């Protein structure tokens, strides 16, 4: 009996794709939660109060939108360049034309 949680008939490409998809989903969910939470907490319900400005941008926009989008861009570059696997998909399937060797001459 195998102690590995992987199914023996599972393709390594599927396993790799599932791992990559879960990482992307986790980063997306973390960015979504942070952005909505931060912008709601610091951007709404401040009637009559002047927001803190950073280079002309309200602080809640800078820290709640620009920062996570910038971090997601950096993570996307890292993911695409170093984490994502470039797996061999196997050889090209041979096409059968039904014409025999005369078609190749």
What is the reported pLDDT for 40? 93
Task: List 54's β-bridge partners, or say none.
Answer: 57
Q: Is residue 52 part of a domain?
A: yes
Q: Using CA atoms, how far apart are residues 63 and 12, in angstroms rounded to an integer?
A: 39
From the list 40, 43, 35, 39, the residue with the least C-alpha distance to 70 is 35
What is the reported pLDDT for 27? 94
Tokens standing for 66? Answer: 């620009």
Q: Is residue 44 part of a domain?
A: yes
Provide the residue range defining the domain that includes 54. 17-84
Which residues in the chain show pLDDT less than 70? 1-8, 89, 98-105
The model scores a pTM over 0.85:
no
User: Domain tally for the chain?
Assistant: 1
Q: Is residue 79 part of a domain?
A: yes
Q: Is residue 97 part of a domain?
A: no
Which residues lie below 8 Å from residue 23, measured CB to CB, with a gap of 6+? Answer: 79, 83
Q: Is residue 2 part of a domain?
A: no
* Residue-wise pLDDT tens digits, 61-82: 999 999 999 999 999 999 888 8
Q: Is residue 63 part of a domain?
A: yes
């Amino acid at each position: 009996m195998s102690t590995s949680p992987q199914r023996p008939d599972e393709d390594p490409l599927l396993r790799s794709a599932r791992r990559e998809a879960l990482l992307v989903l986790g980063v997306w969910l973390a960015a979504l939660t942070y952005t909505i939470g931060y912008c709601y907490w610091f951007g709404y319900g401040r009637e009559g109060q002047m927001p803190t400005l950073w280079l002309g941008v309200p602080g809640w926009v800078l820290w709640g939108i620009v920062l996570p989008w910038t971090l997601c861009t950096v993570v996307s570059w890292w993911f695409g360049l170093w984490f994502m696997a470039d797996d061999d998909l196997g050889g090209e399937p041979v096409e059968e034309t039904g014409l025999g060797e005369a078609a190749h001459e």
